[in-house]
Amino acid sequence: MELTADLKAALIRQVAEAVISHADELTALDQAIGDGDHGVNLKRGFEAVLAQLNTLAEKDPGEILKAVGTALVMKVGGASGPLYGTLFMTMGKHLPPKFSLSDLAQAFTAGVEAVKVRGKSDVGQKTMLDVLVPVARTLQESNDDLLSKLKTVAESSAHATIPMKAVRGRASFLGERSVGHMDPGARSSSLMVLAVVETLENHR
């Protein structure tokens, strides 16, 4: 797969705008089980990404991911800034300039594994990993229906965090009271995956 500058710009813009346009929803989710800053945090980070859109789109995909990760680390803060920064930077390190679907799956999986290490966390703990891990698995098991499967998996796995009890991050302070709310980081992860898939569908 080789991406044109137009498609790279569209991917960056759609991911950033998806997060920014859902900032209020992400904040509301974080108000329920955290400190209410997830939407504002990510909005600040992705606005910094959008400000570099034209220079970013000229770079190789791996370099774009590293630059996005760096911007998120610098601007987002909280728990999610370093974790999303780790995801994007690690993925960027592993993605060659021209890549196959299997390269993409491997790079994304490396990013997700790095999030686990950084967060001392894993699936089932009501975090972004509850979306990122199933998405990585779907990428690895790629087949004809990949794009629509990715959308279904991203949405259903974000919803599947509702009945979970948080054991990592701020929401874990609530214990049982975290049950019944969608995890904000799981939702933001699903929004990013949906934005990538929808951009690719529109470019087919």
Residues 67-106 that bind ligand ADP (CB under 6 A): 78-80, 83
CB of 34 to ligand ADP, least distance (A): 5
Per-residue tokens: 27: 């904040």
Closest by CA position to 170, among listed 186, 153, 183, 154: 183
Q: Which of 86, 90, 121, 157 binds ligand ADP (CB under 6 A)?
A: 121
Residue whose pair of structure tokens reads 């794009």 in the numeric block: 147
Residue type, 107: A
**Residue 27 binds ligand ADP (CB under 6 A):** no
Q: Which of 18, 129, 135, 194 binds ligand ADP (CB under 6 A)?
A: 129
**Residue 165 binds ligand ADP (CB under 6 A):** no
CB 185 within 8 A of CB 5: no
CB 190 within 8 A of CB 134: no
Residues forming the site for ligand ADP (CB under 6 A): 30, 34-35, 37-38, 41, 78-80, 83, 119-121, 127-129, 168-170, 183-186
